């Protein structure tokens, strides 16, 4: 549900957020060859959700989602500055805010689970340190601090029977390249509790070394053979940690809006400028998915204009892409 919220707001140049009910309506309306969306992944913040809402209020949200014949899978913790949390690389006070967001997410997850609307999925996080300039001032110390915060967060999740998935994305410090992401995962060393969330759009920019040229696996003008060799290298490193997956397309440009500036641009699934064979590349990530506890796949359309989100063709195109992925790799 976060494509209706991320990058939206009331600041200059931003579009207004889209209500939960509208997002649910669009989700439920999509259909391809008799297949409909089965559920939603869910962002735990305003205006869709008050992270401090009462149990009764959370149960009402669950009922609202269920009324569209949908379930809930993964949850997005409100870890960013301006929500509940703050930088995982920051001060003790900032770290405490980050951990508070994890605690609140676990509380809501438990309510959803007990309600019955949610039976699988992870809680999604990132470092919440936007940009890499500060990290570069002392990268070793920055990574060590994020590892410390993530370890504490993973312990909270484990105590609540949840798993955390860190979403690799070039705009988040310490997670801005495949190598730095791997360093974090190995540094925490809790694969049963803290894993990787692979988004096809974001991880394409890992290949290109955007924000970390020294870690590039491809150069512009690459051949198809070079692409798949690099993709195999990337996925061999990160697939063992992958516990959550986003079907997505990328046209190779860097784009953003609001607090998600300079990040991987999600294109519509059928965008003619898309760089990815969605079905084929998904297979590299989803090999052994069930053994890693993946029970569903999701899509991401962050930074889609509201007009695009409001078009039925957008939803049907991504649904078709997801059905194709499931058919090919389940």
- What separation in angstroms does the CA of 152 have from each of 59, 127, 176, 242, 303? 28, 13, 21, 20, 31
Distance CA 274, CA 319 (A): 16
Determine the pLDDT at residue 198. 98
Distance CA 204, CA 228 (A): 11
DSSP bridge pairs for 298: 246
CB atoms within 10 A of CB 13: 7
Distance CA 77, CA 97 (A): 12
Q: For residues 184 and 146, is the Cβ–Cβ distance under 8 A?
A: yes
Q: How distant is the alpha carbon of residue 106 from its chain centre?
A: 17
The angle subtended at Cα 329 by Cα 177 and Cα 230, nearest 5°, is 30
Domain positions in the chain are 2-323
* pLDDT tens per residue across span 172-225: 999 999 999 999 999 999 999 999 999 999 999 999 998 999 999 999 999 999
- Residue reference for tokens 């694969």: 191
Three-state SS sequence of 208-235: HCCCCHHHCCCCCCCCHHHHHHHHHHHH
User: Three-state SS for 252?
Assistant: coil
Q: Reply yes or no on whether the pLDDT at 257 is more than 60.
A: no
> In the CATH hierarchy, which fold is given to the domain comprising 2-323?
TIM Barrel (3.20.20)
Which one is predicted more confidently, 301 or 77?
A: 77
Of the listed ranges 103-112, 225-234, 255-264, the one predicted with least confidence:
255-264
Residue 264 in tokens: 């991987």
Residue 124 in tokens: 């999604």
Determine the pLDDT at residue 318. 96
């Amino acid at each position: 549900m976060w494509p209706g919220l991320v990058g939206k707001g009331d600041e200059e140049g931003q579009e207004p957020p889209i209500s939960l009910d509208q997002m649910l309506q669009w989700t439920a309306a999509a259909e391809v060859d008799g297949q409909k969306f089965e559920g939603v992944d869910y962002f735990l913040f305003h205006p869709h959700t008050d992270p401090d809402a009462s149990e009764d209020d959370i149960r009402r949200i669950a009922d609202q989602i269920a009324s569209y014949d949908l379930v809930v899978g993964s949850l997005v913790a409100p870890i960013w500055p301006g929500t509940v949390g703050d930088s995982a690389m920051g001060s003790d006070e900032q770290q405490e805010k980050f951990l508070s967001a994890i605690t609140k997410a676990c509380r809501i997850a438990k309510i959803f689970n007990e309600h019955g609307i949610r039976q699988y999925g992870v809680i999604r996080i990132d470092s919440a340190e936007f940009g890499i300039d500060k990290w570069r001032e002392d990268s070793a110390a920055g990574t060590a601090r994020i590892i410390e915060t993530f370890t504490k967060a993973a312990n909270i999740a484990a105590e609540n029977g949840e798993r955390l998935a860190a979403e690799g994305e070039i705009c988040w410090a310490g997670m801005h390249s495949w190598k730095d992401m791997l360093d974090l995962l190995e540094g925490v060393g809790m694969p049963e509790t803290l894993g990787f969330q692979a988004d096809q759009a974001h991880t394409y920019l890992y290949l290109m070394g955007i924000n970390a040229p020294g870690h590039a696996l491809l150069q512009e003008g690459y051949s198809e053979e070079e692409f798949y060799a690099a993709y195999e290298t990337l996925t061999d490193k990160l697939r063992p940690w992958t516990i959550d997956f986003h079907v997505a397309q990328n046209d190779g440009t860097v784009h953003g809006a609001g607090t998600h500036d300079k990040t991987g641009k999600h294109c519509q699934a059928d965008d003619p400028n898309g760089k990815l064979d969605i079905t084929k590349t998904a297979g590299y990530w989803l090999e052994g998915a069930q053994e890693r506890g993946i029970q569903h796949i999701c899509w991401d359309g962050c930074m889609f204009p509201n007009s695009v989100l409001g078009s039925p063709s957008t939803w049907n195109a991504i649904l078709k892409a997801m059905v194709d992925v499931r058919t090919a790799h389940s």
